[in-house]
Structure 1
Amino acid sequence: MTQAAAPMEPARAGWRRWLPDTLFGRLALLLFVAVTASHVLALTLMFELRPAGMGPPPPRAAMEGDAARRPPPSGPPEAGRPPRDHRPGLLHAGLALDIGVRLLALMLAAWWGARWLSRPIHRLARAARDLGGDLHGPPLPEDGPAECREASRVFNQMQARIRQQLAERDGFVAAVSHDLRTPLTRLRLRAETLEDDGERERFCRDIGEMDAMITATLDHLRGVAHAEPVAPLNIGALLQSLVDDAQDCGHAVTLQGSAQPLPARVGALRRCIGNLVGNAVRYGGGAEITLSDRGDAVSIAVRDRGPGLPEQELDRVMQPFYRVEGSRNRHSGGVGLGLSIAHDIAQRHGGSLQLCNAPGGGLVATVTLPRGGNGSPAARLL
């Protein structure tokens, strides 16, 4: 990352090298130029648009001679009339024009300057917002004022460190997966040699539970860090395939509703809904899936007929390795990662996962996925 950022440091060529290096300096220069230009423009307009017959004032000596030759007024001064003041008014046409031109120039300069100086900040904010959806995006260009260049450089370094940590985590997960599965395979082979059928069955069941727990834990650690292609997905067909698989296993799972395709990661979203359906089957004996299209988002509600959850546990159960019941028996509660993984996948699609107790009993898990319009996170997946 440091090598890629090095070519950004050469001196700026042309007129850019005369620009101040800080936001304050650039704003001060902009206001100085705006005020100077407004003065020049106002004075030019005052002389160019001067009314006809309005010439330069005559010399003082000529004015005094004309006054001496002019006969005195014949009549008495009118009573109550104030003496005439030939001085120009405070808001005569020239002064009003000067003020108007200056204000207009300053307003235009302030508007353009605010957009000019805030553009790198908006770009940094947009990159920070997109970072959660795509860690492998291109680095920010390190240009603009010194403050913006420094912020962009720090952001690029942070992005590089996050990618490096994810790569190290993937390597760790791969190593742990290999190291744990090897002794489990040996145990499974040794269990097959047991003569007692009961002991062999218990050994195989325990090994199977250990294997399932290790698989769930490694999958949670792996998350969705691996790049998966994103494409428009027929969400109705995906849910129907999950329903068919569950029905083939003898579970009461139904689907109703339809929706238009939306951009998504097929494997991750299938796993998200599969975890919700699996929980509904485990705790409620079946699942009722409702698919609805609201135009800007797609909603997938999975309902079961089980006992539901206490209100204070609805948010906690989506934390990793958290289970309501204290037992560690996989058949009664699993490992405590299904809802956590589903919640993480929904968030990575720019959506959300909400849990609530149904009025007639049971639990409803609702996944909301934005369609991807108007720069939403789902649109940036593509």
Structure 2
Amino acid sequence: MRRSLPRSLFGRLALLLVAAVLVGQVLAMALMFELRPFPARPPEAGVFAGDRLPVMPAQIGPASPRAGIPPRSAAGAFPPSLSPPPPPRPPPPEFPLMHGGLLLDIAVRVAALLLAAWVGARWLSEPIRRLARAARALGDDIEGPPLAENGSTEAREASRLFNQMQARIREQLNERDRLVAAVSHDLRTPLTRLRLRAENLADPERKRQFAQDISEMDNMIRTTLDVLSGAADAEPRVLLDVVALLDSMADDLRDAGHAVAVHGTAAPIRAQPQSLQRCISNLLENAIRYGGCAEVRLDDAHDTLRIAICDRGPGLPPEELDRVMAPFYRLQASRQLNQGGVGLGLSIALDIARRHGGTLTLANREAGGLVATLDLPRVLSKV
């Protein structure tokens, strides 16, 4: 059956249009015969047919003298020698244009035409929908299976190009991981030597300063390599209990002496556990570093999970709300106060939110402080 169909999308569309035209013509002819039926010949047609036959003079014979026609009687009866005139012709039969059976017939025909059009549209658009599903799945799992190369000529070509693109992306990511691993090894080797030499310093103050600088460099290298490697890209999505995750993180921060509160409940969501934990951890650390405390509020809706992390710090200038999420961007005040960080915490959190199909926004609170709002859609979680 499939081999007899046109191979190109244009041929299939042309076939669909031709079929629609043919069906329309059949419907029009059927309706015409239904609305204008041909009645049978009435019986009196044989009586009146003789009035229209030509009369030949040879068959009539010579004309006879005009005979007087006796008048009718007073009662209106004809003389016995004359026959009465034929009865008047009946009116032509009337055929109603619309009746119950005809309306039902039209409804059935129109429904059949609409069903055929719907099936044809689904048939033509199925390759596009299949490609859209594959593109959506590619964002969640780069290691997913290739797209089946079948259907029309255009659909097979699009599937082949999509599979080539997926293979190139996978190869580039693997090459990036190999490069980052090599760079990480080359950078950490001299840091390890510096750390060993700093341990042998006799001056405790210089030893402390060296250890602090080395720790800051190690943190910067680790964070930068994590951003470059995108290690969380291949992390599978699982059904995650966000409330349990937040409670566990809040307990760890409370044990370290920080004030953290969690309010609200939420249903589990399908996400990457380690990535989401790092995203929330960066936001909590940012709130504690600049606000002294953190308050987490959960707002669970049908299609979106909202996690709002509030602090009581000084907030941010309005023009800096978007800039602070750029990589390696630090406010001048934080540099002067030497509050640590390399300017990648919010950037990493934003990248993780986008990988989950969500958003991360910053806003100043009316009562003072900053609120970081993480919105995670549940639509992408239903896989």
**TM-score by structure 1 length?**
0.78
Counterpart AA for 1:19: L
Specify which of 30, 46, 68 is matched with residue 53 of structure 2.
68
Q: Give yes or no for the alignment of 1:28 onto 2:7.
A: no
Cα distance between partner residues in 1 of 2:17 and 2:119: 11
Cα distance between partner residues in 1 of 2:188 and 2:2: 61
1:180-219 per-position Cα deviation (integer Å, ceiling 9, x unaligned): 1111000111112222222222221111111010011011
Could you tell me whether the CA contact under 8 Å between 1:43 and 1:98 is conserved in 2?
no
Could you tell me whether the CA contact under 8 Å between 1:243 and 1:253 is conserved in 2?
yes
Cα distance between partner residues in 2 of 1:48 and 1:236: 69
1:89-142 per-position Cα deviation (integer Å, ceiling 9, x unaligned): 9x899x999998886665443332222101111221232233222222222212
Q: Counterpart of 1:319?
A: 326
Cα distance between partner residues in 1 of 2:177 and 2:288: 32
* DSSP-derived class of the 1:332 partner: coil
Cα distance between partner residues in 1 of 2:113 and 2:264: 58
Counterpart AA for 2:186: D
Q: Counterpart of 1:18?
A: 4
Task: Tell me by how many angstroms 1:42 deviates.
Answer: 6.5
Cα distance between partner residues in 2 of 1:179 and 1:63: 116
Specify which of 235, 250, 259 is matched with residue 252 of structure 1.
259
* DSSP-derived class of the 2:142 partner: coil
Q: Give yes or no for the alignment of 1:54 onto 2:61.
A: no
Cα distance between partner residues in 2 of 1:269 and 1:98: 60
Cα distance between partner residues in 1 of 2:34 and 2:14: 30
Cα distance between partner residues in 2 of 1:98 and 1:227: 58
* DSSP-derived class of the 1:321 partner: coil
Q: 1:35 to 1:291 in 2, by over 3 A?
A: closer
Could you tell me whether the CA contact under 8 Å between 1:328 and 1:335 is conserved in 2?
no
Q: Counterpart of 1:145?
A: 152
Cα distance between partner residues in 2 of 1:139 and 1:228: 19
Cα distance between partner residues in 1 of 2:50 and 2:363: 100
Specify which of 343, 348, 352 is matched with residue 355 of structure 2.
348
1:292-339 per-position Cα deviation (integer Å, ceiling 9, x unaligned): 323433222111111111112212222222223287679435111111
Task: Tell me by how many angstroms 1:38 deviates.
Answer: 5.3
Q: 1:292 to 1:47 in 2, by over 3 A?
A: closer
**Identity value in percent:** 61
Could you tell me whether the CA contact under 8 Å between 1:283 and 1:306 is conserved in 2?
yes
Could you tell me whether the CA contact under 8 Å between 1:38 and 1:105 is conserved in 2?
no
Cα distance between partner residues in 1 of 2:27 and 2:226: 69
Could you tell me whether the CA contact under 8 Å between 1:42 and 1:98 is conserved in 2?
no
* DSSP-derived class of the 1:300 partner: strand
Q: Give yes or no for the alignment of 1:365 onto 2:372.
A: yes
Cα distance between partner residues in 1 of 2:185 and 2:138: 31
Higher RCO (C-alpha under 8 Å, 6+ residues apart):
1
Could you tell me whether the CA contact under 8 Å between 1:300 and 1:366 is conserved in 2?
yes
Cα distance between partner residues in 1 of 2:264 and 2:324: 28
Q: Counterpart of 1:12?
A: none
Counterpart AA for 2:183: V
Specify which of 315, 324, 338 is matched with residue 345 of structure 2.
338
Q: 1:359 to 1:24 in 2, by over 3 A?
A: same
Task: Tell me by how many angstroms 1:63 deviates.
Answer: 9.0
Task: Tell me by how many angstroms 1:263 deviates.
Answer: 2.0
Cα distance between partner residues in 1 of 2:140 and 2:212: 39
Q: Counterpart of 1:6?
A: none
Could you tell me whether the CA contact under 8 Å between 1:286 and 1:305 is conserved in 2?
yes
Cα distance between partner residues in 2 of 1:330 and 1:135: 42
Cα distance between partner residues in 2 of 1:65 and 1:28: 57
Cα distance between partner residues in 1 of 2:26 and 2:7: 27
Cα distance between partner residues in 1 of 2:85 and 2:112: 50
Counterpart AA for 2:319: Q
Alignment map for 1:265-284 (pairs within 5 Å): 265-284=272-291
Cα distance between partner residues in 2 of 1:237 and 1:102: 59
**TM-score by structure 2 length?**
0.78
Cα distance between partner residues in 1 of 2:11 and 2:213: 71
* DSSP-derived class of the 2:262 partner: strand
Counterpart AA for 1:284: G
Size of the alignment, in residue pairs? Answer: 351
Could you tell me whether the CA contact under 8 Å between 1:353 and 1:366 is conserved in 2?
yes
Q: Counterpart of 2:164?
A: 157
Q: Counterpart of 1:291?
A: 298
Cα distance between partner residues in 2 of 1:48 and 1:348: 62
Cα distance between partner residues in 2 of 1:47 and 1:327: 88
Could you tell me whether the CA contact under 8 Å between 2:142 and 2:234 is conserved in 1?
no
